């Protein structure tokens, strides 16, 4: 199988900005685009292939055709024809609501398919950009509800000034909010379940306050306080820098200026590469290749703003160019 690319699904939001189209080098003047769903298996928002062996097919259809070869044997057995990860770009011109996602157990108990654990990698954001992640003091359920009622929930949240390259892991249960000026890549479980805690008393286009999920969120929140909510890592050239390892996905950062070969021969999973900066050429050699890769090799680009899906049957990918990118798999 060749590497696959998909058409981005652009989402207009109340808080969206104008960074996404420029970052992806696409001609789209749609205002207030808050999200680009780069790779999605969410029902009603399934990605459509634009490059590879299955152009025009949905991601769900491609999985149904290729199964283990695309997802990996264990992933296919666990998730069936549903793609297990959702990759987004998020541009917040205004603050997003304060929210929390439930874990798998709580989600099922409340009538949803699964929970949502996610991570953020900050792209080039505004100088004064901030976000909320986690609590700055331990509170009880009753105290949480009182803070929501009197509009002081932000007083007990941990606020973080952010810059390009910052990374935050957000396990299900962690209260969070993306602040105005943040531009980031998000990797998450395939789930669209979000419990809105507080929305700054803003009104939608029809003048209505948006719905809050105070009771559901109370059951989902992790009320513990942790030492550091920001992922600490040391950037290095031309090697994988691990950012997140959890039951739902593993993510590494690459910053290359010389050719590298990514070896996936022992990995039973698809791989997603998310272009952050620069441009690179990806060359995939299938089992019929000779020692010089002259036969059966496929080449595609990985530029800033592009997302490429590498099928699980792929053994190796040669990357050439000067580029920074995220690599994630299950």
Q: Which residue in 255, 23, 250 sits closest to 123, CA to CA? A: 23
Answer yes or no: do 208 and 255 share one domain.
no
How much is the pLDDT for 195? 98
pTM over 0.85: yes
Answer yes or no: do 136 and 280 share one domain.
no
Answer yes or no: do 41 and 162 share one domain.
yes
Give the C-alpha separation, 255 to 151, whole Å.
42
What CATH number is given to the structural domain containing 247?
2.60.120.10
How much is the pLDDT for 292? 42
Helix (H, G, I), strand (E, B) or coil at 235: coil
Let me know if 225 is exposed, middle or buried by CB neighbors in 10 A (0-12, 13-18, 19+): middle
Residue at 105 is within a domain: yes
Give the C-alpha separation, 119 to 133, whole Å.
11
Answer yes or no: do 126 and 211 share one domain.
yes
Answer yes or no: do 259 and 157 share one domain.
no
In whole angstroms, how far apart are CA 200 and each of 16, 130, 159?
16, 16, 16
Answer yes or no: do 76 and 215 share one domain.
yes
Total domains present in the chain: 2
Residue at 227 is within a domain: no
Answer yes or no: do 170 and 283 share one domain.
no
Residue at 145 is within a domain: yes
Let me know if 232 is exposed, middle or buried by CB neighbors in 10 A (0-12, 13-18, 19+): exposed
Answer with the one of 220, 254, 282 that is the final residue of a domain. 220
Answer yes or no: do 205 and 266 share one domain.
no
Residue at 230 is within a domain: no
Give the C-alpha separation, 321 to 253, whole Å.
15
Asked if residues 152 and 111 have their Cβ atoms less than 8 Å apart, the reply is no
How much is the pLDDT for 77? 98
Residue at 81 is within a domain: yes
Answer yes or no: do 10 and 80 share one domain.
yes
Answer with the one of 159, 187, 220 that is the final residue of a domain. 220
Query: Mind giving me the DSSP string for 247-260?
Result: SS-EEEEEEESS-E
Answer with the one of 220, 250, 266 that is the final residue of a domain. 220
Q: Which residues contact 13 (CB under 8 A, 6 or more apart)?
A: 32, 33, 34, 35
Per the rule left: phi > 0, alpha: psi between -120 and 50, beta: everything else, 321 is: left
Structure token pair of residue 325 = 């990118």
Helix (H, G, I), strand (E, B) or coil at 226: coil
Residue with tokens 């989402």: 11
Give the C-alpha separation, 323 to 64, whole Å.
33
Residue with tokens 């152009």: 55
Residue at 36 is within a domain: yes
Strand partners, 260: 319
Answer yes or no: do 75 and 140 share one domain.
yes
Helix (H, G, I), strand (E, B) or coil at 133: strand
Helix (H, G, I), strand (E, B) or coil at 79: helix
Give the C-alpha separation, 84 to 104, whole Å.
13
Residue at 306 is within a domain: yes
Which pLDDT tens digits describe the chain residue by residue (330 residues)?
899 999 999 999 999 999 999 999 999 999 999 999 999 999 999 999 999 889 999 999 999 999 999 999 999 999 999 999 999 999 999 999 999 999 999 999 999 999 999 999 999 999 999 999 999 999 999 999 999 999 999 999 999 999 999 999 999 999 999 999 999 999 999 998 999 999 999 888 788 998 999 999 999 999 999 999 999 999 999 999 999 999 999 999 999 999 999 999 999 999 999 999 999 999 997 654 434 444 568 999 999 999 999 999 999 999 999 999 999 999
**DSSP conformational letter for 52:** S
Residue at 232 is within a domain: no
For residue 277, give its domain range: 241-329
How much is the pLDDT for 223? 98
Answer yes or no: do 247 and 214 share one domain.
no
How much is the pLDDT for 206? 86
Answer yes or no: do 193 and 291 share one domain.
no
In whole angstroms, how far apart are CA 290 and each of 76, 103, 286, 295?
30, 47, 9, 6
């Amino acid at each position: 199988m060749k590497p696959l690319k998909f058409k981005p699904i652009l989402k207009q939001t109340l808080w969206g900005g104008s960074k996404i189209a420029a970052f992806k080098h696409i001609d789209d003047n749609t205002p207030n685009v808050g999200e680009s769903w780069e790779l999605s298996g969410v029902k009603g928002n399934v990605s459509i292939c634009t490059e590879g062996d299955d152009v025009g097919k949905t991601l769900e259809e491609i999985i149904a055709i290729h199964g283990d070869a695309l997802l990996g044997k264990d992933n296919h057995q666990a998730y069936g024809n549903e793609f297990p990860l959702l990759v987004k770009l998020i541009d917040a011109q205004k603050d997003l609501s304060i929210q929390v996602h439930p874990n798998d157990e709580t989600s099922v108990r409340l009538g949803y398919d699964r929970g949502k654990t996610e991570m953020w990698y900050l792209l080039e954001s505004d100088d004064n950009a901030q976000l909320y992640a986690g609590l700055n003091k331990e509170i009880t359920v009753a105290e949480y509800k009182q803070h929501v009622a009197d509009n002081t929930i932000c007083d007990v949240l941990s606020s973080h000034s952010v810059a390009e390259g910052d990374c935050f892991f957000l396990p299900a249960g962690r209260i969070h909010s993306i602040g105005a000026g943040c531009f980031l890549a998000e990797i998450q479980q395939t789930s669209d379940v979000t419990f809105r805690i507080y929305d700054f008393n803003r009104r939608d286009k029809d003048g209505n306050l948006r719905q809050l999920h105070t009771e559901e969120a109370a059951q989902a929140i992790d009320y513990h306080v942790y030492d550091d909510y920001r992922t600490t890592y040391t950037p290095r050239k031309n090697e994988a820098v691990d950012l997140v390892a959890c039951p739902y996905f593993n993510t590494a950062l690459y910053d290359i200026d010389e050719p590298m070969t990514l070896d996936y021969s022992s990995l039973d999973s698809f791989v997603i590469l998310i272009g952050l900066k620069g441009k690179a050429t990806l060359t995939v050699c299938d089992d019929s290749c000779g020692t010089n890769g002259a036969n059966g090799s496929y080449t595609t680009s990985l530029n800033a703003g592009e997302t490429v899906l590498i099928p699980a049957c792929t053994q190796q990918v040669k990357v050439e160019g000067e580029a920074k990118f995220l690599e994630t798999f299950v």
